[in-house]
Structure 1
């Protein structure tokens, strides 16, 4: 990992330098090669091949952090290619430390800047102090830039430094009216388009293909005064709840590096949990906001699919309509999620994307204190909950009852069919053909498990294998059979069945006269590389993408030794390989955060957030990660 040093460059490749180094800023040990960046001309980066160009902003972030911490202009930076990427092609980069030092000289070493105080502030307080002038937006931005770089050295969560953030900050300061997120640094999931930067999805084919314009959500963030400053890592293709790819490598869970941070918004979850970002945006098509939030001990919210614009999101597959994708916020507390939703649901959003219903955030619903009628279940009878998951639901149920709310047992019907047939068939209705196109000429990351191999199996053989293995592993047989390509007529029928299933659950819900629902959330974090071996465990989250219900995650507890001891009895309902891998993946989790999931009916997003806030208020505070 990088270390700060004043030693001169070691012998090896000839250095691109016309004089002895004054001070080394970044020294990265590397077995392959080392390079230097010294003050030479007015261009920060003058030469790099296409596949390496997208790595350069991360080097700039390293230099920025170093410059803010300790250096004086005219120094020399030493770095290694392999520290930035698994793409270990050699290149020489020349530039001017003076440019960086002059551009970012804001006096972070000044004792008047309370970096720890800034990092400890909740978003609501930080935003208020920024708007009233108590805090300088430059100090906040550079504090979080520095923190993001520091935590990235340990957990590898940042993929791109958005170097326009400094000029964007100056533009925001010129605005007459300060938006709700004025001066707030915001991190973005890799797939969210930002002009001039790649959205790689962890795939080599997307490296060096910068987006030509900002996504709608980025445009709205900027209009609200927010400062997007980094992009974060995802699993290759984003079809995994792990977080590793062949371009940027593996992101680690800040609570325990042996555990995954979850995915596919795993870089966001890890960065926020480690303190390197106060607010992030992720996407969710099967739990991709909720898994990282649960595994990393933060809050995350998946709104109704069309509540926030998805224009400008990059994906491995386009045109899939059966299972709803959502974009949503991730943060340390529920009020931060609500503030982000409040800021995004504005006239700018509705104007930039007229397909988004012009429905502002309902303060009345979110602020209400009326008792709630809450449905709950401890298990979906498809994936056996871990002891910590079940305990988290029961303890939260009791706290809600003690606070005057009514709790009613409620389990949505036919979850098994929704998982094995409806959701899986919808995601892979072409047999995975479009998805597989993304992997041509690329290595397949281990986090995807056997997915690529399975999708490459011919249709007839998928059907035959599904029939053969059904008596032994009926659950896996159902998934395999649903991964076959289907005709347009069959796809229409599938869409109709999903619509009918959705309305049947709404009818079931209304018969119980429920306001909201309390559900288990998969957790604690699995061991690295285990999500791809325990695919069935997506049932707790995928259901609500299939239904297109808003859903959010709130941490409420941590794993106890008693939970760990009981895990040996958690063998699953099917005793298949997915159950076995889930049990193994959950082992060794004492002290890790555990969450619950809150759900509401479509377009009742504020009601879902209200339950989340109530759960948060009544639950013991989870200590920050060790």
Structure 2
């Protein structure tokens, strides 16, 4: 390492530690929200697939199920602030319609299952997606009064499959930060410890599902916005192979090269529900995957990488996360009789730089982030930063910072071109390594859920998830129990394009053998 690089590393790490120390000192004097009690109602502890089956068979009324989830939301939401706008009355009316359909016996159970695979299942939706009658501001004050006149494609498909939306959930401003906080709805708080973040941008989704207020949800992911919230909240999230699930109907939508990075996918409390929800979301595109193909887990190739190799911009991986990954490796080797090969992929150390270059390689097609923030008016990021310092800006600090950083991203075209080439090489290397039957185990993040505002000191830690958006690989985030401090641990399960069935099968296996989601407040 050169002397200049050593000095840069020292300066970055010192400034980061100082900022973290200040944030933690401030948090000592902040009001401590109460912890949640675990859900007790058995209906709240039942997978979506089982709930739908019970409703179709008439074993439980949909109105009872939906009311149970509404009651849980009312119990926990004052603490976690996850669901930001409800449609409880509409949901109860739709639940009654489901009960009337079942009691009419106009269709037998098999027909109901074919036509309505999610019949009566409560559903939450990220506020960035259009849900008829609901706000779709994406945390932007200038869109505060907007109400959706239609449903996003995935929302429409889930509703046609019988799911009952209960409301929309919080996200970061314009969905580009990994703490879900904005100037309309405020901040969402982790159900395992409200002093910690829920992740972003689909943070409200991960939070309300983990807290027992929903069982399945809709998320989007351009740099880890499904997987980070799923990890921080101890649930499952799947970023599909790009192009499988339509992104239409969300704001902001992707343009130019960013369309290859943005993915819409399911967030679920139970791994067993991931394939079911993914099939509904994908529609006919599901035929491009192999979800009905039986997976022999003991015949797969397994690889494990415990860190990114030492990225200059990203924090080292927490010891507890490394230990959890090593326990998982031992578990797989003992239970499946496989050999998990430790590997080092050199170019993963450039994950943040590669993602940043990919986001700015649009050739002018993608809308400028500052223009999105301005929403039809004019916005000067530098001036907004000054306004923010005196409490006069309408925007959050992370959004302002991103708008400023975006202006610098285009100043180094040669460097960006090198990173795009590294991305191509990396994609070829990993696809060759995994083939059609390989699995890569990789950290979900470098840190266990940080306290509020701490991401400001380590803004690039999302690189552990963002790199797989650039590479176009399917990834399932899988919980691995709780840390010594009671916060979720997790792992990313990665495979090659169109082999989503491999990561989903392993996630379901681990749910059965290791336990999956742990209710908050139960330990």
TM-score normalised by L of structure 2: 0.78
Aligned to 1:20: none
Which residue is equivalent to 2:294? 365
SS at match of 2:493: strand
> Structure 2, unaligned stretches of length 5 or more?
1-38, 380-392
Q: Classify 1:623/1:209 alpha carbon distance in 2 versus 1 (closer, same or farther; 3 Å).
A: closer
Assess if the C-alpha contact under 8 Å between 1:253 and 1:259 holds in 2.
Answer: yes
- Correspondence for 1:596: 491
1:280 to 202, 217, 220: 217
Distance 1:519 1:394, change over 3 A: same
1:410 aligns with 2:343: yes
How far off its partner does 1:227 sit? 0.9
Distance 2:297 2:55 in 1: 29
SS at match of 1:411: coil
Normalised to the residue count of structure 1, the TM-score between the two structures is 0.66
Which residue is 1:444 aligned to? 395
Instruction: State how far apart, in whole Å, the 2-side matches of 1:191 and 1:521 are.
Output: 23
**CA shift at 1:310, angstroms?**
1.3
Pairing of 1:340-489 with structure 2 (within 5 A): 340-345=277-282, 349-350=283-284, 356=285, 358-359=287-288, 362-365=291-294, 368-381=296-309, 382=311, 383=314, 384-403=316-335, 404-420=337-353, 422-429=354-361, 434-440=368-374, 443-448=394-399, 450-455=401-406, 462=408, 483-484=409-410
Matched, 1:119 2:40: no
Distance change (3 Å), C-alpha of 1:494 and 1:591? closer
In the alignment, the residues of structure 1 paired with residue 443 and residue 415 of structure 2 have an alpha-carbon distance, to the nearest angstrom, of: 33
Instruction: Note the alpha carbon deviations across 1:603-623, whole angstroms, 9 max, x for none.
Output: 111111112222333325564
Asked whether the 8 Å contact 1:203–1:438 carries over to 2, the reply is no
Q: Residue 508 and residue 373 in structure 1: after superposition, are their counterparts in 2 closer, same or farther (change >3 A)?
A: closer
| Counterpart among 442, 446, 461 of residue 519 in structure 1 | 442
- Cα 1:198–1:393 shift into 2, 3 Å: same
Matches of 2:457 and 2:400, distance apart in 1: 6
1:240 aligns with 2:198: no
Bigger proportion of residues as helix:
2
Provide the rounded CA distance (Å) in 1 between the counterparts of 2:259 and 2:358: 5
Equivalent positions of 1:535-614 (< 5 A) are: 535-560=459-484, 590-614=485-509
Report SS of the residue matched to 1:182. coil
Q: Is contact 1:243–1:266 with CA below 8 Å preserved after alignment?
A: yes
Assess, with a 3 A threshold, how the Cα gap between structure 1 residues 252 and 616 changes in structure 2: closer, same or farther: same
| Structure 2 partner of 1:299 | 236
Aligned partner of residue 301 in structure 1, secondary structure: strand
Contact 1:418–1:543 under 8 Å retained in 2:
yes
- Deviation of the 1:428 alpha carbon: 3.2
Q: Tell me, what secondary structure is at the counterpart of 1:521?
A: coil
Look at both structures and tell me which one has the larger radius of gyration over its CA atoms: 1
The answer to whether the 8 A contact 1:516-1:611 is kept is no
Shift of 1:498: 4.1
Give the aligned CA root-mean-square deviation in angstroms.
2.8
The CA deviation at 1:211 is 2.4
Q: State the distance in 1 between where 2:136 and 2:394 align.
A: 18
How many residues matched?
A: 446
Deviation of the 1:447 alpha carbon: 4.7
Is 1:188 matched up with 2:111?
no
